[in-house]
Structure 1
Amino acid sequence: MKKNVTMGVTKKKTKRSTVLTLVTGLMLIYTVLPLVWLVLSATKSQEDLLGTFGLWFGDDFALFQNISDTFTYQDGIFGRWVLNTVFYVVVGAGGATLLAALAGYGLAKFDFRGRRAVFAIVLGGIAVPPTALAVPTFLMFAKMGLTDTPWAVIVPSLVSPFGLYLMWTYSTEAVPNEILESARVDGAGEFRSFFKLALPLLAPGLVTVLLFNLVWTWNSFFMPLIMLKNADLYPLTLGLYSWNRQANTVGGDVVFDLVITGSLLTIIPLTVVFLLLQRYWQSGLAAGSVKQ
């Protein structure tokens, strides 16, 4: 009897594992298939791209030629877009992470009047879609004379309600109040306590917020689309979009091969960053999941 029960439990567990494996496999295919198509398409010439099967190589291996053409097309403006995107990410995503850390730490470790109201506003900011704020932001920036400048992309990216919420949650658990009290007794100021004591303890949460802000800023499209007119200020997303639109204009160049190759080059830095910071990202996401 005991043997039958054991076999039944084992069979049940195996069935669950099989279903989970099938679901995971389907999700893997759904996720990887577009990436495989992108990599294979980047190796094709314009003719092979339009005339061959999408999930296989073309007649000619043109990856290196496509990369060279991408960086030299229109006087090498793609390189300028890369530098613009890196600048927007460093200033925008880096600044948003620092501000989220300061604000989240303050909400977690200081009790002040209006604290609950601030927290409610932050939660409300998470619920509001960014596209709903695009037009008011554009009108405000237009009156301030900031449209068609790098600040039109950087300033909106500095506000990260979700990042602030994550840092508030992580600061509550990761920074013991006893350490801060000891620092205050020793005469350390609040900023010194934050940068010397709290910040190292917040490293996993900071990496998580930084990755979210990095991806958001790197892939930002709609806000630059309505804010920027000068092609020299475009980020990669908007620049590739402008190349793609050329096929719909009279006399415009059809450069789908360069658009696809540029898209492949665009995702490589994000992939590398995720792989390098994966362990910190996972530990940051797990903050607060286990009750002490």
Structure 2
Amino acid sequence: MGRRRSAVLTVLIALVAIYSLVPLAWLVVNATKTQEGLLSSFGLWFDDGRFALFDNVRQTLTYDDGVFVRWLGNTLLYVVAGAGGATLLATLGGYGLAKFDFPGKRAVFAVVIGAVAVPGTALAVPTFLMFSRMGLTNTPWSVIIPSLVSPFGLYLMWTFSQQAVPDEMLEAARIDGAGEFHTFFRVSAPLLGPGIVTVLLFTVVATWNNYFLPLIMLKDPQWYPLTIGLNSWNDQAQTVGGQAVFNLVITGSLLTILPLLAAFLLLQRYWQSGLAAGSVKE
């Protein structure tokens, strides 16, 4: 029975891996083709002609006065300010909710759980109307400020702080005369490392792949993130005479996912080391 269950799980994992890796393989293969090669060769196999990856990268970075680089810079701005701020606020809020008692704590818990259940797209239009009244639409703030709110990150840090930081350790620090900020940054923050990295990964991916909010908030292409910018190129590629940018859409999509892969590989090391360190504490 155990072997049969193991075989079923292996097959399921293999199917999920194939489902996940085939689009990535298609993207990598087609990013090496010229515009003519995209039209004449099979999608999952390399072109017999010229290897055009580096030419495609150069064209992508220089097309339309290098607007792709501008979009990349905008995305990095939204990620650093939005995802970084969301992680900081979720960490401070989750820690405070887990380790301090105050009136209305149950009500706050209910609000957080309710906010987790509400999809972000449902709030996009009300947020647009509010920001429009405030004159913040078509500015970076219209993307950064909503990104600072992460109900799931807050809930995750709340539950993680309850288990990762012993109350006895906090009491010992307070008895020694340490203030709350000193206790948090010197005692609690190192123990919260794996949770912080987890929330950071979630918020980085959500902000990097954010599409609907920038779509309704931004009109100026100079403030587009990569998701909206590449979609505008794709719309151009669908028009008559616009097929010349189709290879740029594919190459740009490949360049877009590389920072996410790098972030996962970099942060995973700290995540695993933090978990391993926590597992041997007594």
Q: Structure 1-normalised TM-score?
A: 0.90
Is the counterpart of residue 147 in structure 1 residue 137 in structure 2?
yes
C-alpha separation in 2, matches of 1:197 and 1:240: 44
| Aligned 8 A contact 1:207 1:284 in 2 | no
Instruction: State the shift of 1:26 in Å.
Output: 1.1
Query: In the alignment, which residue of structure 2 is the partner of 1:13?
Result: 2
Instruction: State the shift of 1:188 in Å.
Output: 2.1
Q: Which has the larger radius of gyration?
A: 1
Q: What are the ranges of 5 or more consecutive residues in structure 1 without an aligned counterpart?
A: 1-11, 287-291
| Aligned 8 A contact 2:33 2:52 in 1 | yes
Is the counterpart of residue 27 in structure 1 residue 24 in structure 2?
no
Instruction: State the shift of 1:245 in Å.
Output: 1.0
Query: In the alignment, which residue of structure 1 is the partner of 2:36?
Result: 47
Instruction: State the shift of 1:180 in Å.
Output: 1.3
C-alpha separation in 1, matches of 2:167 and 2:178: 14
C-alpha separation in 1, matches of 2:2 and 2:250: 44
Of 216, 223, 241, the residue aligned with 2:231 is 241
| Aligned 8 A contact 1:81 1:232 in 2 | yes
Query: In the alignment, which residue of structure 2 is the partner of 1:183?
Result: 173
Instruction: State the shift of 1:17 in Å.
Output: 2.0
C-alpha separation in 2, matches of 1:256 and 1:196: 52
| Aligned 8 A contact 2:193 2:271 in 1 | no
Of 71, 74, 79, the residue aligned with 1:84 is 74
C-alpha separation in 1, matches of 2:8 and 2:272: 25
Q: What is the 5 A alignment of 1:240-279?
A: 240-249=230-239, 252=242, 254-279=244-269
Paired residues in the alignment total 278
C-alpha separation in 1, matches of 2:187 and 2:94: 15
Query: In the alignment, which residue of structure 2 is the partner of 1:204?
Result: 194
Q: What is the 5 A alignment of 1:65-104?
A: 65-104=55-94
Is the counterpart of residue 165 in structure 1 residue 155 in structure 2?
yes
Is the counterpart of residue 38 in structure 1 residue 30 in structure 2?
no
Instruction: State the shift of 1:18 in Å.
Output: 1.9
C-alpha separation in 1, matches of 2:4 and 2:274: 32
Query: In the alignment, which residue of structure 2 is the partner of 1:4?
Result: none
The one-letter amino acid of 1:36's match is A
The one-letter amino acid of 1:139's match is L
| Aligned 8 A contact 1:108 1:169 in 2 | yes
248 and 20 in structure 1: CA distance in 2 versus 1, 3 angstrom threshold? closer
C-alpha separation in 2, matches of 1:13 and 1:148: 57
C-alpha separation in 1, matches of 2:182 and 2:89: 16
285 and 125 in structure 1: CA distance in 2 versus 1, 3 angstrom threshold? farther
The one-letter amino acid of 1:222's match is F
C-alpha separation in 2, matches of 1:234 and 1:146: 15
| Aligned 8 A contact 1:208 1:285 in 2 | no
C-alpha separation in 1, matches of 2:241 and 2:217: 26
C-alpha separation in 2, matches of 1:51 and 1:140: 49
Is the partner of 2:42 in helix, strand or coil?
A: coil
Instruction: State the shift of 1:248 in Å.
Output: 4.0
Is the partner of 1:67 in helix, strand or coil?
A: helix
| Aligned 8 A contact 1:208 1:280 in 2 | no
C-alpha separation in 2, matches of 1:285 and 1:216: 23
